[in-house]
Amino acid sequence: MIVVNTAGDWSNLFAPLAHASWHGFTPTDLVFPTFLFVVGNAMSFSMKKLGQMSSTEFFKKVGKRTLLIFLIGWLLNAFPFYNISESGAISFIDLSEVRLFGVLQRIALCYFFGAIVLYYGGIKGAWIFSAIALLGYWAIMYFFGDGADPYSLTGNAAIKLDLALIGPERMYGGEGIPFDPEGILSTLPGIVNVIAGYLAGKMIQKLGNTMDAVKKLLAIGLVLILVSYAWDILFPINKKIWTSSYVLLTSGIDLFLLALLVGVIEIKNWKGWTYFFEVFGRNPLILYILSGLVVTLLSMIPVGDTTLKGFIYANFYKSWLAPKTASFLFAFSYMLVIWLIGLWMDKKKIYIKV
């Protein structure tokens, strides 16, 4: 996600590092739902303790975590909290017009509602909720979207609900109009990505790190992928409105990846290559936050007619590399800088959790 979010030049991207423009799927479209899948996978361990709590303790624990993650995401949207006019005058931003939702906010909400489903319904309730959520979301999008094209950018039910409840000034504007890919309605199918990770984790715990577990993960993953492409005919795979077919596709691919990791790391015991990724995994939230803050700061510091980010990119990448390669290597180098911060934190045994 760091590589995807910090391109040197947004007009020069390798195709796999860009989201699908609307319907369709790219490798980049797998990143965010995998975040949710991993959250669910971790919950397959943490819910053992949460499930033993009273409802009051449960909501206090889960609610606090949800609010903190949501608030951090909103503050990232507001950062650096001020604007500088062409004349150099500084003015504080209008907090009422800060984008309300975002990546961390969706993670927070999907975690919260996923935890509630699992706390009260268990595994059986999780399956029932997932079916109702995916089919219900399809029905809502079809019947409440524009008749001619209910899944278009301007005619889908999700944008209509967000405009009515959030307001255009608090929505994402990257599509050229107020439209939030992490809005209210599309959070519903996102919860299923969390539940998929939870169910996968519980299955592995039951079967152990065995070839039987690997085979079942692969088989279920294949079924989900096949069903997703069959459903795509009626309800197109689309990350930006988080369609039900998209949930099945990404969950299926994640099961394939999880099966591969179990086979390589746990069964074959090939672990020498994993530490690089463990560094990110030990401080995921703070490193994600830093990845957003640091690049924002680099884009604010003036250097001649450009910014420090622009100066670094122009002189150390763009000056000698092809445009797309320069854009990618800038993002990759930046990711390594964040990794070095994570490495230092790990060596110092500094772990920040919410």
pLDDT digits (tens, 9 = 90+) for 316-325: 999 999 999 9
d(Cα 240, Cα 22) in Å, to the nearest integer? Answer: 7
Would you call the peptide bond into 150 cis, given omega within 30 degrees of 0 as the criterion? no
In which residue are the tokens 């990143």 written? 31
**Where does residue 64 rank: exposed (0-12), middle (13-18), buried (19+ CB within 10 A)?**
exposed
Domains of the chain, residue spans? 24-270, 272-354
In tens, the pLDDT along 165-191 reads: 999 999 999 899 999 999 999 999 999
List b or e across 165-198, with b for residues whose CB sees 16 or more CB atoms inside 10 angstroms: ebeeebbbeebeebbbbbbbbbbbbbbbbbbbbb
Task: Check whether 25 has a pLDDT greater than 80.
Answer: yes
What confidence score (pLDDT) does residue 278 get?
95
306-307/90-92 β-pairing: unpaired
In tens, the pLDDT along 270-295 reads: 999 999 999 999 999 999 999 999 99
AA identity, residue 50: L
What confidence score (pLDDT) does residue 147 get?
85
What's the CA angle centered on 92, arms 87 and 95, to 5 degrees? 140
Q: Per DSSP, what are the bridge partners of residue 82?
A: 92
Task: Check whether 302 has a pLDDT greater than 90.
Answer: no
Band of residue 87 on the pLDDT scale cut at 50, 70, 90 = low
List b or e across 76-93, with b for residues whose CB sees 16 or more CB atoms inside 10 angstroms: bbebeeeeeeeeeeeeee
Summary mean pLDDT of the chain: 94
Q: Could you tell me how many helices (H) and strands (E) the chain has, helices first?
A: 12, 4
In tens, the pLDDT along 217-255 reads: 999 999 999 999 999 999 999 999 999 999 999 999 999
Q: What share of the chain is helix, strand, coil (3-state, %, to 5)?
A: 65, 5, 30
What confidence score (pLDDT) does residue 83 get?
78
Band of residue 62 on the pLDDT scale cut at 50, 70, 90 = very high
Band of residue 80 on the pLDDT scale cut at 50, 70, 90 = confident
Q: Which two tokens stand for residue 211?
A: 């070839």
What confidence score (pLDDT) does residue 58 get?
95
What confidence score (pLDDT) does residue 184 get?
97
Q: What is the mean pLDDT of residues 105-134?
A: 97
Task: Check whether 81 has a pLDDT greater than 70.
Answer: yes
Q: What is the mean pLDDT of residues 81-92?
A: 76
What confidence score (pLDDT) does residue 89 get?
76
What confidence score (pLDDT) does residue 164 get?
96
What confidence score (pLDDT) does residue 86 get?
67
User: Percentage of the chain with pLDDT > 70?
Assistant: 99
Q: Which two tokens stand for residue 325?
A: 């390669």
The Cα-based distances of 183 to 190, 266, 287, 331 in angstroms read 11, 38, 24, 27
Q: Per DSSP, what are the bridge partners of residue 307?
A: 302
Closest CA to 187 of 283, 96, 66, 77: 66
Q: Are 159 and 179 in contact (CB under 8 A)?
A: yes
User: Percentage of the chain with pLDDT > 90?
Assistant: 89
What confidence score (pLDDT) does residue 353 get?
85
Q: Per DSSP, what are the bridge partners of residue 302?
A: 307
